[in-house]
Structure 1
Amino acid sequence: MTDEGQTDSQGKGVRSLSSAIKVLKMLDLVANNPEPSRFTDLQKQSGLLRSTVFQQLRTLVEAGYLDLRDDGRYQLSLRCVALSAMAMRQMDLTDRIEPLLDRLARRTHLTASLTMIRSGRPTIVQRVEAESLIVARQTLGADMSLLLSASGRVHISFQDPKALEAIAEGPGLDPALVAEIRERKIAYTPSGLGVTASATPVFDGGGRCFAALSIVGVEEVDIRAHDADLLEFGAAINAALRPASAG
């Protein structure tokens, strides 16, 4: 038996609500800004009509996902914090990913990390340090540059380039570089930073990039020699996060 409007238990043949998707994109814009968002900034970032932006923001406020501050700016509500915590528990993220990070660090002798976008910047949410005399140390919870870190470049290339580049420091990534990163599924740090790193996207069950897996070492390391390892463990993490019903 199926619910009214569904053709089967998977919902095949049922179209998504385009209006809901547009509202959720506005929520993403607010979430990706490092500070509470001004109406004018959101209108500029989205490229939508003023009336449309107002309607979407009002919908999100009334639904409890955004708070409208006294100064007129919009920010994520505590409901979003609760949803984030519940998502982490349901995905069992730590238990499923940490063993893979540990294996990647042991194989490459490099520090392996997982980053997510928080307050508009890539933030380290999990990491395993390499067992080596010389390591590039990364602090759990540390923020990184969107444009200069390998993880940041992955987030820009695979998440929402327009939204993320709007809050990035500088003019944004070269479109040719974004295309190359999307094709190779690997991004690298530029030279001269004292460390070297590469990163690959991590996708949720719906096929959306929500995190980046990276390896980092001192600048003398030939990071590209570990491309195959990074892609292998990126695929393993994606498989570990895939819902059982999708297998």
Structure 2
Amino acid sequence: MKALALLDHLSTLRDSVRPAELARDLKEGRATVYQRLITLVEAGWVEALPDGRYRLTLHATRIAKAAAEQAGIGDRAMRVLEALVGETQMSASLAVLEGIGPCIVQRVEPECG
């Protein structure tokens, strides 16, 4: 649960972060935070950067896509988004509120070329 709490905290940040900053934010020891980061790196949720900072990977997008499909949003929304993109030649997204902010659950881009 504590590794998932760290993952949630990372999702609120706009940039990569050092373990010391995370420890301060979470009011936990650096070694403890570092151990959780290593767990998340090994699981593919977080990546370590050469400068010692950490950031989320795009692993969550695969999980989000699966959640949208299992919720049954996919097919009907996709048809509407594809029609909209076909008419406008602009990107179209479907978002839902999660907490106080939007979470994009489906997105269609116009074809290039």
| Global fold match (TM > 0.5) | yes
Match of 1:51 among 3, 26, 31: 31
Match status 1:122 vs 2:104: no
Q: Which residue of 2 aligns with 1:72?
A: 52
Q: Whose helix proportion is higher, 1 or 2?
A: 2
Q: Which residue of 2 aligns with 1:242?
A: none
How far residue 62 of structure 1 moved from its aligned partner, in angstroms, is 1.0
Deviation per CA, 1:40-60: give whole Å up to 9, x if none. Answer: 221112111111101100111
Mark the structure with the bigger radius of gyration: 1
Return the alpha-carbon distance in structure 1 between the equivalents of residues 97 and 24 of structure 2. Answer: 27
* 3-state secondary structure, aligned to 1:32: coil
Change (3 A) 1:85 1:124: closer
Q: Which residue of 1 aligns with 2:17?
A: 37
How far residue 27 of structure 1 moved from its aligned partner, in angstroms, is 0.8
Residue type at the aligned position of 1:35: D
Q: Where does 1:124-143 land on structure 2 (aligned, <5 Å)? A: 125=104
Return the alpha-carbon distance in structure 1 between the equivalents of residues 71 and 31 of structure 2. Answer: 37
How far residue 39 of structure 1 moved from its aligned partner, in angstroms, is 1.5
* 3-state secondary structure, aligned to 1:34: coil
Q: Where does 1:168-247 land on structure 2 (aligned, <5 Å)? A: none
Deviation per CA, 1:45-88: give whole Å up to 9, x if none. Answer: 21111111011001110111111112222111122221111111
* 3-state secondary structure, aligned to 1:48: coil
- Unaligned 5+ segments in structure 1 are 1-20, 97-112, 127-139, 141-247
Deviation per CA, 1:154-198: give whole Å up to 9, x if none. Answer: xxxxxxxxxxxxxxxxxxxxxxxxxxxxxxxxxxxxxxxxxxxxx
Return the alpha-carbon distance in structure 2 between the equivalents of residues 37 and 91 of structure 1. Answer: 33
How far residue 124 of structure 1 moved from its aligned partner, in angstroms, is 6.0
> Could you tell me the TM-score, scaled by structure 2's length?
0.63
Tell me if structure 2 keeps the 8 A contact 1:116–1:125.
Answer: no
Return the alpha-carbon distance in structure 1 between the equivalents of residues 51 and 101 of structure 2. Answer: 27
Q: Which residue of 2 aligns with 1:27?
A: 7
Aligned Cα root-mean-square deviation (Å) = 2.8
1 or 2 for the larger relative contact order (CA 8 Å, sep ≥6)? 2
Which consecutive segments of 4 or more residues in structure 1 shift more than 2 A? 92-96, 113-117, 121-126
Tell me if structure 2 keeps the 8 A contact 1:26–1:56.
Answer: yes
> Could you tell me the TM-score, scaled by structure 1's length?
0.31
